[in-house]
Structure 1
């Protein structure tokens, strides 16, 4: 076996600012895929990790879920960040058999049958927000005025949260997932950043108490009253379940819709193709998801000594799975830097793979395709009305501002 490869290009994966400069990021990732597909990264304030950038290696690690575990480090956060994060144990922190049992609590809510019923609500909300675009008078910040609200309303209504609380949940989510970005972060110290998490936990504690006293027909009630082997979930697991549904359930989708619209503006030939052939929407949806890749990376920890591409990985060492890189892998995608609404096959890994495949993937696909199905027939012209801005992150994110001007019917 060969020794560790250290390539400075891999440091980009440990810099939140890297994701605001996509050209530079992809230049670095292209180099890594070619010259150092498994590269060692020691970049404080993060603990060292191995960066895995090839599609085939990301899949191999995802498949080997006993060898590479989610616990204890599923995401890349600084060593001293958010002390309250140690009290979070969501689905992305869990491994089987616990993961399988806890995941099953919400599985039926995202089943094909449940989504068919939810489809009416999704279509109604898509129409509402396209109407809001038209009412805006031909110019808006698409992210802050449209994209963040549409999937938020879908997932909050699924949970059964009162509409009056939606703005608060949006703010808390942005603070939690946007903690690396100065526009969204509540403070700079770990303690200040933890306040958002504590507020969200306090809210869900009250919700749990209400749903246990008076069960209702919503996902929040299903979580609050869930039992595994006859026992209710612990307080930590209950709060964490709400957290992952409420945050990942809308932030990733809003990023994808915003990034998809940007891609269509930047590629007018693809916009024309999709408007001319609405039947391309399923393929276009997958291409938008690949192109944006809202979840940038996940982490795994080796449960025993192993290797990737002949590079030794010791027990206890962490690997970072770069979905952004895997979704531009030249060995898997023809012309990977071309946005192509006709792309097929499209073996992207934006939803992960294996036992941790995204629980809400089908809902996200439905929301994305429904929104663009509603928008494109009514759109006459569209262009940028300023510079798009991306969020600083190492985990989840996309555009935070997309100023556009347009005309609609």
Structure 2
């Protein structure tokens, strides 16, 4: 359907891939295809939308090779100059935002990444594998047994809880406080979606405050300081204990907690239902996973390719440059679109086909370059386990209603996913 709509467009026109409302109906792959084919580095306007202020515009980068080039070349395409969201932050907030390693460039970024890497080791992550598996079994069984009509919303019944509880176990957040992390994630990630997010808080000028501004993150930071103090007095084998004992400055610890809470939760919170939705739409692919002809670990990489948890990331040109023949001025915003790069026909054969045995699979769903996702190992563990437990106990994924996508040009979220949960496995 979208291919027909895209083909009806003027081939010389530049499709809009900025408007977050476009993404509620699904990733606009045909718009991306037109950009890759005709406008691989394309100017996008930033009009005011839903009360959020207009911006100066940006360059949309949609081909795989160009996306990788931008992500790897931190000297030309900076994460620090304007931070990493499409929307420009308030200049007064920039020093605050630059405290997190997500919004830093090497060499400062490398120092912080090394510190948190010591806390986020594969060995520490793997120690939680048994708990992750038991949680997947318990949540899936509860969804199956509690479905009066044989169907359940997998987002509400399984994947939100699964991502959140696994993360809080790893961080060492007490059970009584776990709801706070989901509340903060929804506020920060879902702010573009009027259905998913709470009403925006307004500043003195009557305009919505950026949910990543200091004014709206104070509650989270106060909690991070209290939790770190508790971990110093009562250490455990968890990430917050390791960070609390790492000698970080208070502001650095606060920003690590912010980054791990939001990114660590929402990566799996988006990818888990997105993978199940992809399999429901292409049942032949699920049959190959169920019969063992496609290994689950390989299939997870393909599901990440077709449903990356993050749609886009912003950089700022540190100097005048050229990308795919397009001159870019110093100070211009440059936004890479992961979901487009993952469907680039120049890299992936038949990219619209879900091939659970696809190899090699150089998707960029976890980024590339110095900012490649630190939690990728933990995310893969959770996704692999969820699909293994689904295969063992649940029927083939089948839609029982219309899914709903998050209104966001940043996170590829699913807010509702009705699936059949009754019936024999496989």
The match for 2:22 is: 18
Contact map agreement 2:82 2:88 (CA 8 A) in 1:
no
Question: How much has 1:84 moved relative to structure 2?
Answer: 6.0
Contact map agreement 1:297 1:324 (CA 8 A) in 2:
yes
Question: How much has 1:322 moved relative to structure 2?
Answer: 0.6
The match for 1:30 is: 33
Question: How much has 1:152 moved relative to structure 2?
Answer: 1.1
The match for 1:9 is: 14
2:128 paired with 1:125: no
Question: Kindly tell me: are residues 37 and 279 of structure 1, through their superposed partners in 2, closer, same or farther at Cα, counting changes over 3 Å?
Answer: closer
After superposition, the C-alpha distances for 1:285-308 in whole angstroms (9 at most, x for unaligned) are: 001101111111111112222111
Question: How much has 1:373 moved relative to structure 2?
Answer: 0.4
The match for 1:64 is: 73
2:344 paired with 1:329: yes
Question: How much has 1:73 moved relative to structure 2?
Answer: 2.6
The match for 1:368 is: 383
2:165 paired with 1:162: no
Question: How much has 1:401 moved relative to structure 2?
Answer: 0.3
Contact map agreement 2:275 2:307 (CA 8 A) in 1:
yes
Contact map agreement 2:312 2:339 (CA 8 A) in 1:
yes
SS of the aligned residue for 1:385 comes to coil
After superposition, the C-alpha distances for 1:161-202 in whole angstroms (9 at most, x for unaligned) are: 011111221122111100000123222332384665332222
2: CA distance, partners of 1:99 / 1:273: 41
Q: TM-score, normalised by structure 1?
A: 0.90
1: CA distance, partners of 2:334 / 2:422: 47
The match for 1:293 is: 308
2: CA distance, partners of 1:192 / 1:95: 23
2: CA distance, partners of 1:62 / 1:80: 20
SS of the aligned residue for 2:56 comes to coil
**Equivalent residue in structure 2 for 1:222, among 203, 222, 242:** 242
Contact map agreement 2:294 2:357 (CA 8 A) in 1:
no
The match for 2:185 is: 173
Question: Kindly tell me: are residues 119 and 280 of structure 1, through their superposed partners in 2, closer, same or farther at Cα, counting changes over 3 Å?
Answer: same
Question: How much has 1:352 moved relative to structure 2?
Answer: 0.4
2: CA distance, partners of 1:106 / 1:75: 20
The match for 1:101 is: 111
2: CA distance, partners of 1:390 / 1:320: 21
SS of the aligned residue for 1:204 comes to helix
Question: Kindly tell me: are residues 338 and 309 of structure 1, through their superposed partners in 2, closer, same or farther at Cα, counting changes over 3 Å?
Answer: same
Question: How much has 1:79 moved relative to structure 2?
Answer: 4.0
Greater displacement, 254-263 / 198-207: 198-207
**Equivalent residue in structure 1 for 2:402, among 380, 387, 390:** 387
Question: Kindly tell me: are residues 385 and 240 of structure 1, through their superposed partners in 2, closer, same or farther at Cα, counting changes over 3 Å?
Answer: same
2: CA distance, partners of 1:81 / 1:133: 43
Question: Kindly tell me: are residues 111 and 255 of structure 1, through their superposed partners in 2, closer, same or farther at Cα, counting changes over 3 Å?
Answer: same
1: CA distance, partners of 2:417 / 2:90: 29
SS of the aligned residue for 1:380 comes to coil
Number of aligned positions between the proteins: 396
What stretches of structure 2 of length at least 5 have no aligned partner?
Answer: 1-11, 48-53, 203-207
SS of the aligned residue for 1:47 comes to strand
2: CA distance, partners of 1:150 / 1:278: 27
The match for 1:246 is: 261
The match for 1:112 is: 122
1: CA distance, partners of 2:164 / 2:275: 17
What stretches of structure 1 of length at least 5 have no aligned partner?
Answer: 1-6
Contact map agreement 1:75 1:299 (CA 8 A) in 2:
yes
After superposition, the C-alpha distances for 1:245-288 in whole angstroms (9 at most, x for unaligned) are: 11111211121110111111111111111101165211110011
After superposition, the C-alpha distances for 1:89-114 in whole angstroms (9 at most, x for unaligned) are: 32210111111111122213443322
